[in-house]
Amino acid sequence: MFDASDALAMVWRPMKREVKVLNRLGLHARPAAEFVRCVRTFKSSVLIHKEGEIFHADSILDVLSASLECGSSMTLEAEGEDAETALEKLALMLVEFQNQEG
């Protein structure tokens, strides 16, 4: 028998995290591709909110279209069973990109 409380347990609330691009070249093609590959390893859906626009973080075209230059602030939003882990990993990845070149 289906219990309504089971349905509520399966509803995931979006989690958000403010992050900043620190790499002096911004999130250009190579790190953007790494970022997207990482996003695709999670079951959660991940969005990027920047200056009133929303971009799908699992799409290289969307990530590049977001124009994530050095110093850009954005909000990552993840929704799903591994949302917290996804946000932690993606935020850490942006920090790790800080000293990478081309």
Token duo for residue 39: 């996003």
What is the C-alpha to C-alpha distance for residues 61 and 73, in angstroms, rounded to an integer? 19
* Residue bearing tokens 């309504």: 4
Other beta carbons within 10 angstroms of residue 76's beta carbon come to 21
Active site residue 28: yes
Q: Which of 17, 20, 28, 50 is catalytic?
A: 28
Three-class DSSP category at 14: coil
Contact between 46 and 75 under an 8 Å Cβ cutoff? The reply is: no
What is the C-alpha to C-alpha distance for residues 9 and 16, in angstroms, rounded to an integer? 20
Active site residues: 28
